[in-house]
Amino acid sequence: MLRDAKPSTRTGRAGALAVFFQFLELRHKVELHNLAGRVVKCPLDEMNRPRASVEP
């Protein structure tokens, strides 16, 4: 869906997703592990995160 979007849009959405998962990991990691039996982990790792565009 975002393949045709501008690089700045993809970078912004990836950043928002990373911040959301950081919030879940910091605040609700234990609760979610107890409820679902799984550890919360961001789907975007350092290698799959889009680079910021250098174009103005």
Tell me the backbone φ, ψ of residue 27, rounded to 5 degrees: -95, -35
Asked whether residue 53 is assigned to any structural domain, the reply reads no
Asked whether residue 21 is assigned to any structural domain, the reply reads yes
Q: How confident is the model at residue 44 (pLDDT cuts 50, 70, 90)?
A: confident
Asked whether residue 30 is assigned to any structural domain, the reply reads yes
**Number of domains into which the chain is organized:** 1
Asked whether residue 8 is assigned to any structural domain, the reply reads yes
Reported as a single tens digit per residue, the pLDDT across 11-38 is 888 888 889 999 998 999 899 899 999 8
**Residue 28's domain spans which residues?**
1-47
pTM of the model: 0.68
